[in-house]
Amino acid sequence: MSVLVLAEHNGQQLNASVYQAIGAAQTWAASVDLLIVGKATEALAQQAASIAGVQRVLSVDAAHLEHLLAEDVANIVVGIASNYQVILAAHSSFSRNILPRVAALLDVAMIADVLQIKGDNTYTRSIYAGSVHAMVQSIDTIQVLTVHASNFTVAAQGGNAEIVPLAAPDATTKTRWLSEEHSHSDRPALSSAKVVISGGRSLGSAEKFEQLLSPLADKLGAALGATRAAVDAGYAPNELQVGQTGVVVAPNLYFAIGISGAIQHLYGMKDSKVVIAINQDPDAPIFQVADYGLVADLFEAVPEITDSIASK
Amino acid sequence: MKLLVAVKRVVDYNIKVHVKKDGSDVDIAGVKMGANPFDENAIEEALRLKEKGLVSEIVAVSIGSAANQDVLRHALAMGVDRSILIETDSLLQPLGVAKLLKAVVELEKPALILLGKQAIDSDAGQTGQMLAALLAYGQGTFVSSITIENSEVIVTREVDGGTETLAITLPAVLTADLRLNEPRFVKLPNLMMARKKPIQTITVTELGVDITPHLNLISVSEPPARKPGIKVSSVQELLQKLNDVGGITL
């Protein structure tokens, strides 16, 4: 049998989660193909070919694929789907946009954000913002799924896959890409950072969010995150949102600063290795998931931590 | 132009659900239910497009048992013009729901279909994309702004690391993110009036759609809890603990 992994990339580099998606694909005793769709994909294909356990890198390279539209990518995946029993990708806004479209075109269910692959078409996934785990079994002959990347082993380097160019179908006429805005930050990507410092509504303003958290993030080489409440209040841009509807993170160290701990937020960070919570309210639910909790005034405690840490 | 908005009835977002003792499913008997929050954003945006004169009629559709009338009444009270209940007691999954919505689209022929980007119970986040696929329409998912210009809808999408702007030919399917808008509160007189408005009921059989689930639920469980941590009394103690676990070098 064969598994197809859809690769997410930024044009230059494969996302770190691609390696975990391949790790998930290796759960099946099957050959694994990696699909790369984009413009000028040669370097990406080379990078992918060296991942251990990848049989073939399928490269679809066309000018109109510089900015990927769900309509186009879904057509490409559906075009080769009959060669595979499993089609998967790491769970992200990229795969969540495309794979449900693929599943519907194949008339199969999609299993979103899989935590565990159990065999026999059975999977564990979370529902109700992670407060319940459900085990489901698919009846479909092609399994389409996204995987919770941090739960899976990172595929090793050292492969030597064959690179197979595939022709791109015509571009969709339904949708046109106009523009994109990415925050330019020297900080590591939130989804793969080793240290994440997140702030909640208690920070009080965008200025205080920046003043209090940035120096600490700079010293620790950390990514900044935020709760939905902080994003809605305008303290932080939307792409920093950690939680059920934002980014899911699993760093070595997670600082929850002025965060009460709504279940929707916990969903996004409870896989962190060590969680530190600083909050003025001793009854805040965040303390139930924190390894180390400090009941203190943020505006005193955080600068004290920052000052105590030697610059990296 | 006509706009169709889909509304799912879910457990209220403030409630922490528990699993049944036998682990067969979640226990939601007697639990407070309401419209899926993301679907409320979709309704609100539909109303704003109508208030701008870009939409002439808004039809709300919900799928499920007769109990779903409450979320349709809520949509009517918010200001939608008509509502349709596709009545069924069968288990619903995104693919089946997308097929039912497609059948409604074929009857109603809306130029734009708005849904929430995901439901807060099953967290699947698939129905909009699946509906767009089945209709062969363009899709705009996780949208935080919508404008209509001539025969296109211009949307800003929230993606990992930023935003993306697309132009999609109408008819199109869009899924709403929470930051699209702040849904209005329903005023009591509107709620009273909504009680008098008719809800059109259609059965799954009448639509002739196969909604057999493709996923069987084997069991549910509470996830393993993180082991409880400790409270430290000072920043210095916190830093000492972090040093001990090797989290950060001081």
In this structure, the answer to whether residues A35 and A136 fall within a common structural domain is yes
Least CB–CB distance from B179: residue in A174, A238, A304: A238
Cβ-defined contact of B215 to A136 (cutoff 8 Å):
yes
Rounded Cα–Cα distance for residues A229 and A33 (Å): 41
Is the separation of the CB atoms in A77 and A35 below 8 Å? Answer: yes
Which residues in chain B have their CB less than 8 angstroms from residue A193's CB? none
State the residue for tokens 């409880």. Answer: B228
Spacing of C-alpha B12 from chain mean position = 12
- A206, A144: one domain: no
Nearest to B164 among A105, A180, A270 (CB): A180
Q: What percent of chain B has pLDDT over 90?
A: 86
Minimal C-alpha gap between A33 and chain B (Å): 24
Task: Name the minimum distance, in Å, from the CA of A158 to any CA of chain B.
Answer: 29
Taking the C-alpha atoms of residue B116 and residue B40, their distance in angstroms, rounded to an integer, is: 7
Domain boundaries, chain B: 2-225
Residue after which a domain boundary falls, among A124, A150, A166: A166
> Considering the domain boundaries, does residue A136 fall inside one?
yes
Q: Identify the DSSP state of A86.
A: E
DSSP A229: H
Q: What average pLDDT does the segment B91-103 reach?
A: 98
The nearest alpha carbon in chain A to B25 belongs to A134
Task: Compare CB distances from A245 to B163, B164, B178 and report the shortest one's residue.
Answer: B178
Q: CA-to-CA distance for B215 and B219, rounded, in angstroms?
A: 12
Q: Quick check: B28 and A132 in contact, CB under 8 A?
A: no
Beta strands in chain B (DSSP E): 2-6, 9-11, 18-19, 26-27, 33-35, 57-64, 82-87, 112-116, 138-149, 152-159, 162-169, 172-176, 200-203, 215-221, 230-232
For position A298, which CATH number holds?
3.40.50.1220
pLDDT value at residue B114? 98
B139, A97: Cβ pair inside 8 Å? yes
Which of A112, A276, A291 lies at the smallest CB-CB distance from B123? A112
**Which class for A52: exposed (0-12), middle (13-18), buried (19 or more C-beta within 10 A)?**
middle
Task: Give me the residue from A122, A128, A310 closest to B26, CB to CB.
Answer: A128
Separation of alpha carbons A260 and A227, rounded Å: 9
Chain A residues closer than 8 Å to B139 by CB: 70-71, 97, 101, 175
Contact criterion met (CB < 8 Å) for A105 and B133: yes
Which sign does the torsion angle of CA A268, A273, A277, A282 carry? Answer: positive
pLDDT at A54: 97
Residues 6 or more apart whose Cβ sits within 8 Å of residue B145? B155, B156, B180
A195 CA to chain B: closest CA distance, Å?
9
pLDDT of residue B241: 86
What domain range is A61 assigned to? 2-166
Taking residue B83's Cβ as centre, other Cβ atoms within 10 Å add up to 26
Cα–Cα distance for residue pair A139/B249, rounded to 1 Å: 50
B160/A239 touch (CB, cutoff 8 Å), yes or no:
yes
A191: left (phi over 0), alpha (psi -120 to 50) or beta: alpha
pLDDT at residue number A186: 81
Residue A181 lies in a domain: no
Asked if the model's pLDDT at residue B136 lies above 90, the reply is yes
DSSP lists the bridge partners of residue A222 as none
Same-domain pairing of A147 and A12: yes
Return the amino acid letter for A10.
N
CB-CB: which of B124, B217, B230 is closest to A292?
B230
Which token pair is A140?
């479909």
DSSP code string of A136-153: EEE--SSEEEEE-GGGSP
B168 and A174: CB-CB below 8 Å?
yes
- Asked if A21 contacts A5 with a C-beta cutoff of 8 angstroms, the reply is yes
User: Lowest-pLDDT range, A160-169, B9-18, B72-81?
Assistant: B9-18
Sort out which chain B residues have CB atoms less than 8 A from A195's CB and list them.
Answer: 248
Question: Least CA distance to A172: which residue of chain B?
Answer: B138
Contact between chains at A127 and B223 (C-beta distance less than 8 A): no
Residues A122 and A195 both lie in one domain? no
Closest by alpha carbon to A129, among B129, B10, B229? B10
Helix axes of A93-106 and A70-80: crossing angle, nearest 10 degrees: 50
> Do A127 and B220 count as a contact with CB atoms less than 8 A apart?
yes
| Residue B19 to residue A288, Cβ atoms within 8 A | no
Residues of A in contact with B12 (CB under 8 A): none
Query: Do A147 and A292 have their domain in common?
Result: no
Q: What is the pLDDT of residues A247-266, one digit of tens each?
A: 889 899 999 999 999 988 99
Mean pLDDT of B29-48: 97
Q: Residue A77 in contact with residue A87, Cβ under 8 Å?
A: yes
Task: Report yes or no on A122 lying in a domain.
Answer: yes
Residue B250 banded pLDDT, cuts 50, 70, 90 = very low
pLDDT at A245 over 90: no
Phi, psi torsion values for A173, nearest 5 degrees: -105, 0
Banded pLDDT at A274 (limits 50, 70, 90)? very high
Q: Which of A115, A132, A166 is the last residue of a domain?
A: A166
pLDDT at B248: 57
Instruction: With respect to residue A33, please indicate whether it lies within any of the assigned structural domains.
Output: yes
Beta-strand relationship, A122-127 and A110-119: antiparallel
Give the residue-averaged pLDDT of B53-78: 97
The answer for residues whose C-beta is within 8 angstroms of residue A78's C-beta and 6 or more apart is: A102, A105, A106
Q: What is the mean pLDDT of chain B?
A: 94
> Do A199 and A298 share a domain, yes or no?
yes
Residue B246's pLDDT is 65
Which of A130, A151, A166 is the C-terminal boundary of a domain?
A: A166
pLDDT (0 to 100) of residue A64: 97
The domain total for chain A is: 2
The confidence score (pLDDT) of residue B206 equals 95
Which one of B122, B155, B248 makes the best mutation probe of the A interface by having the most chain A beta carbons within 10 Å?
B248
Q: Do A275 and B229 touch (CB under 8 A)?
A: yes
CATH number for the domain including A73? 3.40.50.620
Query: pTM (2 decimals)?
Result: 0.92
Selecting from A67, A109, A191 the residue whose C-beta is nearest the C-beta of B95 gives A109
3-state secondary structure of A204: coil
Same domain, A141 and A238: no
CB contact under 8 A, B164 and A71: no
Statement to judge: residues A133 and A206 lie in one domain: no
Could you tell me which chain A residue has the CA closest to the CA of B23?
A134
**Can you tell me the ipTM of this complex?**
0.94
Statement to judge: residues A233 and A289 lie in one domain: yes
Return the pLDDT at B247.
Answer: 56
Identify the band that residue A312 occupies on the pLDDT scale cut at 50, 70 and 90.
Answer: very low
Mutation target vs B (from A72, A110, A128, A278; most B CBs, 10 A cutoff): A128
CA angle A63/A68/A70 to nearest 5° reads: 130
Q: Please tell me whether residues A140 and A10 are part of one structural domain.
A: yes
User: What's the confidence (pLDDT) of residue B160?
Assistant: 84
Q: Under CATH, which number does the domain B2-225 receive?
A: 3.40.50.620
d(CA A39, CA B20): 50
Q: Is B51 exposed, middle or buried (0-12, 13-18, 19+ CB in 10 A)?
A: exposed
| Chain B residues touching residue A274 (CB < 8 angstroms) | 242, 245, 247
Q: Does a structural domain hold residue A182?
A: no
